[in-house]
């Protein structure tokens, strides 16, 4: 990540200011989640443009990624307000500490969602229709962990819906090949969010929250490995559907190397190792984007 961009996104108000709790509620102090959401959207723009996309759309989807992630975090904390205080990783979130009230989180959610929708209005009719599906995916996810061990699949659908919207915004159509990339992105999201869930597994078992990490149990790393293979296979098939050059397929080898590294650092299933594997995925998105760019040359 360029040093200037890293510096800009890491700027945050002091926690004792009025803005501080809202800043942390919407995770502006932790941009990795925004990047995980943004990269697939950029894949969609480049895939539809068959090269460099419109600059205006690039700006719209960068800003939109911050807005929709802020909305998702706000509604997530609202849904988890009775659980977060009992989880080591989330015990200092603004609703868990009482810095913000549930009503304030809901207001933040609606404001962020409205800003994201205003940005979508600058695109086309097909993308606006797609935005309603994205909003539903975002709202439903936080409540699923009460009823199913598979909320990570839903978050994969939500986190990567921007790929579909970006493709329609740039190309004003839906090509069959884009669904292959969407499938790859979903598998990838389940990979990194399972690592994330492994960090909280012991706490989740105590409070009765469900996750795919609990479902997988001792087979967690094996199942993650299967999903990593599915991700790579889908990316290969997607490259074939878009008739990319050989450079694209060579560009996927660094992604495979990152997946192997993540398996290595989680071999003892420690919280630190699992969280490091989650964070390591921030490099997967840009590597795939570079591969797409090379494949289109």
Output the pLDDT for position 16: 52
Q: What is the mean pLDDT of the chain?
A: 89
- pLDDT per position as a tens digit, 199-229: 888 877 777 777 777 888 888 899 999 999 9
Predicted confidence band of residue 9 (pLDDT cuts 50, 70, 90): very low
Cα(225)–Cα(261) distance, integer angstroms:
11
pTM: 0.88
When comparing pLDDT for 272 and 216, which is higher? 272
**pLDDT digits over 47-58, tens only?**
999 888 999 999
Q: What is the pLDDT of residue 234?
A: 98
The whole-number pLDDT of residue 17 equals 62
Phi then psi for residue 90, to 5 deg, are -115, 5
CATH number of the domain located at residue range(s) 15-296 in this protein: 1.10.357.140
What mean pLDDT is predicted for residues 251-270?
Answer: 96
Distance of alpha carbon 176 from alpha carbon 178, whole angstroms = 6
Helix H, strand E, coil C: the string for 235-281 is: HHHHHHHCCCCHHHHHHCHHHHHHHHHHHHHCCCCCHHHHHHHHHHH
- C-alpha span between 188 and 63 (Å, rounded): 23
**Please, which pLDDT band fits residue 7 given cuts at 50, 70 and 90?**
very low
- Which has more confidence, 151 or 235? 235
Each residue's pLDDT tens digit, 155-185 = 889 989 999 999 999 999 988 899 999 999 9
- pLDDT the model gives residue 166: 97
Question: Are 113 and 71 within 8 A, CB to CB?
Answer: yes
* Torsion, CA 25, CA 103, CA 77, CA 87, rounded to 10: 100
For residue 2, pLDDT beyond 70: no
- Angstrom CA distances, 111 to 22, 96, 166, stand at 12, 21, 22
């Amino acid at each position: 990540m360029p040093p200037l961009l890293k510096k800009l996104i890491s700027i945050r108000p002091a926690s004792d200011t009025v803005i501080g709790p809202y800043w942390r509620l919407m995770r502006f102090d932790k941009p990795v989640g925004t990047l995980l959401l943004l990269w697939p959207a950029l894949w969609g723009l480049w895939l539809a443009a068959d090269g460099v996309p419109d600059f205006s759309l690039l700006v719209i989807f960068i800003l939109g990624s911050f807005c929709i992630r802020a909305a998702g975090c706000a509604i997530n904390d609202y849904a988890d307000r009775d659980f977060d205080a009992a989880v080591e990783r989330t015990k200092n979130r603004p609703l868990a500490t009482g810095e913000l009230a549930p009503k304030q989180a809901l207001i933040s959610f609606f404001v962020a969602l409205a800003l994201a929708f205003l940005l979508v209005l600058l695109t086309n009719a097909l993308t606006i229709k797609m935005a309603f599906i994205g909003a539903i995916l975002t709202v439903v996810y936080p409540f699923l962990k009460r009823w199913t061990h598979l909320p990570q699949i839903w978050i994969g659908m939500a986190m990567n819906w921007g790929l579909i919207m970006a493709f329609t915004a740039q190309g004003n159509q839906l090509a069959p090949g884009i669904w292959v990339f969407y499938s790859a992105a979903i598998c990838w999201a389940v990979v990194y969010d399972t690592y994330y869930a492994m960090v909280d597994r012991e706490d989740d078992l105590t409070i009765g929250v469900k996750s795919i990490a609990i479902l997988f149990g001792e087979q967690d790393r094996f199942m993650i490995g299967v999903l990593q293979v599915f991700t790579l296979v889908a990316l290969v098939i997607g490259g074939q559907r878009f008739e990319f050059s050989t450079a694209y397929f060579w560009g996927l080898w660094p992604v495979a190397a990152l997946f192997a590294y993540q398996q290595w650092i989680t071999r003892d299933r420690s919280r630190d190792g699992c969280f490091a594997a989650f964070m390591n995925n921030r490099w997967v998105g840009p590597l795939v984007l570079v591969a797409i760019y090379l494949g289109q040359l």
